[in-house]
């Protein structure tokens, strides 16, 4: 596993090298974004399993090269529970995350034989690997150079398996003829994130 640590923004060379699809994830100081918590790290994994862990500039969160990738609709962004990551990235980086595939949504639509849709469950089923989630509750807001190898490995593991998982879930969606339903849910995610940002955290469709 090759991990490159970056402060501020990726270079134009890295941005230009990212094509086809990238896996993305974020770490934050907590789950209440934007009202309390802050974006701490952004993880990206390309199709060759090169991993970039980026610590944004917390004074202004300006990262034009990274934003150019996130907004590029020719690059597929694969993530797990993108409702959170999309919210964080769009709020702090002032961008629009385009062309996405959410493995959690896909799993809930097509893996109806189970109630277990966490990333750890998907990695176990499709990659035959067991994720160590002990470092999930970490102080991700400290300097990236002060993060331990185990913490960096944890962050990297959240993206390195996503390409494989996406391929397998996509096969299942096509087989079960649920791809159109999945795409409709992805289209609605823009509205779901907007509701989150305006304080409507609960399911508005509930009685």
Mean pLDDT value of segment 31-38: 89
Residue ranges and CATH numbers for the domains of the chain are 2-197 (3.30.420.10)
List CB contacts of 39: < 8 A, sequence separation 6 or more. Answer: 26, 28, 33, 56, 61, 88, 89, 91, 92, 93
Of the ranges 17-21, 103-107, 144-148, 199-203, which one carries the lowest mean pLDDT score?
199-203
CA–CA gap between residue 196 and residue 83 (Å, rounded): 9
For the entire predicted model, the pTM comes to 0.96
- Tokens 């896996």 correspond to 23
CA–CA gap between residue 131 and residue 162 (Å, rounded): 13
Decide: helix, strand or coil at residue 27: strand
Mean pLDDT value of segment 17-37: 94
pLDDT digits (tens, 9 = 90+) for 61-110: 999 999 999 999 999 999 999 999 999 999 999 999 999 999 999 999 99
Query: Which phi and psi angles does 102 have, rounded to 5°?
Result: -100, 115
9 pLDDT more than 90:
yes
């Amino acid at each position: 596993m090759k991990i490159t640590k970056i402060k501020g923004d990726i270079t134009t060379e890295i941005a230009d090298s990212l094509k086809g699809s990238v896996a993305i994830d974020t770490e934050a100081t907590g789950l209440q974004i934007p009202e309390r918590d802050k974006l701490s790290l952004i993880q990206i994994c390309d199709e060759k399993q090169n991993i970039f862990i980026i610590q944004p500039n917390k004074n202004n969160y300006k990262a034009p090269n990274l934003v150019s990738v996130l907004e590029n609709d020719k690059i597929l962004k694969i993530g797990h529970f993108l409702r959170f990551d999309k919210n964080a990235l769009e709020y702090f980086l002032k961008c629009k995350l385009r062309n996405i595939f959410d493995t959690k949504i896909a799993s809930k639509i097509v893996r109806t034989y189970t109630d277990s849709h966490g990333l750890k469950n998907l990695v176990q089923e499709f990659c035959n690997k067991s994720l160590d989630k002990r470092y999930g509750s970490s102080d991700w807001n400290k300097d990236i150079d002060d993060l331990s190898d185990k913490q960096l490995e944890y962050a990297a593991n959240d993206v390195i398996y996503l390409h494989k998982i996406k391929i397998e879930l996509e096969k299942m969606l096509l087989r079960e003829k649920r791809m159109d339903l999945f795409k409709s849910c992805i289209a609605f995610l823009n509205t779901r994130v907007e509701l989150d940002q305006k304080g409507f955290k609960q399911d508005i469709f509930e009685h």
